[in-house]
Structure 1
Amino acid sequence: MKNLLVVGLMVSGLVFGQTKERDTLRERSLDDVYTAPYAKKEKPLPLSKKGQVFVFFGWNRGAFSNSDIHFTGNGYDFQLNNVQATDKPTKFGIVYFDPSWFTVTQYNFRLGYFIKDNLALVLGIDHMKYVMKQNQTVDFSGTISDPKYAAMVQNGKVDLSDTQFLTFEHTDGLNYENLGLEKYHNLIHKKNIDLVWSYGAGIGVMFPKSNIKLFGNERSDRFHVAGMGTDIRSSLNLVFWKNWMLRAEAKAGYINMWDIKTTLNNKPDKARQDFVFGQVLAGIGYTFNTKKYN
């Protein structure tokens, strides 16, 4: 009986020992299964992960609502109502690709950094061009002391077509320096192609170089912080070969400039206006990672 008990204990020890060893091997294999995919960091989707950066350069077309422009200075204080304006696209040619001429075109620059997954802080420069339509007659209210220009006002209206009364442009340009937040969503993810949609909003300062000639004075043409702007925007981004990006963006916003310089001297002559704008743009960019991925 004692011998049978000893033999039973030896057999049970052998069985349980083998079972324990098999369980240990099973645990190790399961650990390998679960941890293997995480042994190396996979390169993230374009425009999707914290730490990613992109740069972009493109060109735009703009549209502007009618605006009331109020002029004040020595001997005058008046307002022109419902003034029409348009943008001024440069004729397509080498100027669009020659870096020494890039400011001549209506261009856009973006520098984006992903502060969170799918959320980017974007620094933008929107170089739009604003040109008052010369061939128009607008409503006038206010006073002008100079009899020559006061006589150009007839029945509460003034004809701007001969350029003697006023020429008014922000063509070097209507510069909107802005900072925005943009949210990104991957729509298509293929081997060499990604389609990413974004939306967001921004705010910034207006830093125009305004070309203005009022009452035959010397043309004002200098950079100046004139006001502020804000916008909402949305874009489609086609990322190919992992890093290159084609971007198409639409934007709508509001601009208020209360300190537009109208003369070259330090007199208190100025104009103010506000209007709504729309903009479409397209161009090419590059996206890369600030973190290393194996």
Structure 2
Amino acid sequence: MKNLLVVALMMSGFAFGQVKKDTLEKEYKLEVAPYKAEKKQKPYPLSKKGQVFVFYGWNRGAYGNSDIHFSGNGYDFQLNNVSARDKPTKFGIVYFDPTWFTVTQYNFRIGYFIKDNLAIVLGVDHMKYVMKQNQTVGFSGYISDPKYAGMVQNGQVDLSDTQFLTFEHTDGLNYENLGLEKYKNLIHKKNIDLVWSYGAGIGVMFPKSNIKLFGNERSDRFHVAGMGTDLRSSLNLVFWKNWMIRAEAKAGYINMWDIKTTLNNKPDKARQDFVFGQILAGIGYTFNTKKYN
């Protein structure tokens, strides 16, 4: 009986020791298991600090009526409530030929996300502004030249024959602007994202104004003429992670106090201010400046 008891104790001790050994080995393996870094997920497009996008598109514009004040040697007058329109180019190869891109009413943007969902955006809005020729407008002021003073009848002047004035910013009404835009992801699918943005911008007006006043040689040159500001909102459809279709609407205010009207730098000039609206659409590309697994 004693022998059986000794054998039983020896076997139980062996079994207990084996279990303890197995447990220690498992714990040791857990302790020395290699550390696996958490995999970083690629962020949504148009959302993370460090992301960049570029965009190119085309616009249509609308302008509020404005009072245009002209001053120079022998004249100082104002045309009241002058109406204008944009000048879209007929659709064709000119929209895609890079050697002719300035002919169209185009927009360019480059944006950088300074914070998550917040981007600073540098833009060029190449709009076109054409005074409607077939209109009669109010007149106040004086003109010393009897020929052109005689065109004023009962406080109004008829512009339709082009002899008194032709007035355009068609090369163009260039708004060089810096904006701040907030972005929000509305839809996130495997290969499709829909992102909404809103913001505001401010910038300088750098028009090439085509103006012919009183039969003078046409003034046609680039010149910093004033400033503009705007509010904007856009929808951005991002597909295949990087490509983007953007549709944007904006409304703003333009004040140009130094428009060159003749080839004489001084004192001939005009000034005007007006509100504007713009819709635009085009294609872009978005990418990360940081690496993600």
TM-score, normalised by the number of residues in structure 1: 0.89
Which AA in structure 2 matches 1:74? N
Report the equivalent of 1:196: 195
Q: Secondary structure at the match of 1:103?
A: helix
Which AA in structure 1 matches 2:192? I
Query: Based on CA coordinates, which of the two structures has the bigger radius of gyration?
Result: 2
| 265-274 or 129-138, larger mean C-alpha shift | 265-274
Report the equivalent of 1:251: 250
Structure 2 Cα separation of the partners of residues 180 and 16 of structure 1: 68
1:64 maps onto 2:78 in alignment: no
| 112-121 or 14-23, larger mean C-alpha shift | 14-23
Structure 1 Cα separation of the partners of residues 218 and 52 of structure 2: 42
Measured after TM superposition, the shift of residue 96 of structure 1 is 0.3
Report the equivalent of 2:276: 277
Measured after TM superposition, the shift of residue 267 of structure 1 is 2.5
Q: Which runs of 4+ in 1 moved over 2 A?
A: 12-29
Q: Secondary structure at the match of 2:281?
A: strand
1:213 maps onto 2:212 in alignment: yes
1:242 maps onto 2:241 in alignment: yes
Cα deviations by residue, 1:20-76 (Å, 9 ceiling, x for unpaired): 9888888999x97xxx6x622211110000000000000000000000000000000
Q: Secondary structure at the match of 1:102?
A: helix
Cα deviations by residue, 1:186-238 (Å, 9 ceiling, x for unpaired): 00000110000000000000000000000000000000000000000000000
Measured after TM superposition, the shift of residue 14 of structure 1 is 11
Which AA in structure 2 matches 1:183? K
Report the equivalent of 2:164: 165
Q: Secondary structure at the match of 2:100?
A: helix
Q: Taking structure 1 as reference, are residues 18 and 269 closer, same or farther at Cα in structure 2, changes over 3 Å only?
A: same
Q: Taking structure 1 as reference, are residues 231 and 13 closer, same or farther at Cα in structure 2, changes over 3 Å only?
A: farther
Cα deviations by residue, 1:118-142 (Å, 9 ceiling, x for unpaired): 0000000000000000000000000
Cα deviations by residue, 1:73-112 (Å, 9 ceiling, x for unpaired): 0000000000000000000000000000000000000000
Measured after TM superposition, the shift of residue 15 of structure 1 is 9.8
Measured after TM superposition, the shift of residue 266 of structure 1 is 2.2
The aligned runs of 1:88-127 (5 Å cut-off) are 88-127=87-126
Which AA in structure 1 matches 2:88? P
The aligned runs of 1:24-103 (5 Å cut-off) are 39-103=38-102
Gap regions ≥5 residues in structure 1? 1-11
Which AA in structure 2 matches 1:245? M
RMSD: 2.4
Q: Percent identity over the alignment?
A: 86
Q: How many residues align?
A: 283
Structure 2 Cα separation of the partners of residues 43 and 162 of structure 1: 62
Structure 2 Cα separation of the partners of residues 46 and 232 of structure 1: 23
Q: Taking structure 1 as reference, are residues 85 and 28 closer, same or farther at Cα in structure 2, changes over 3 Å only?
A: farther
Report the equivalent of 2:5: none
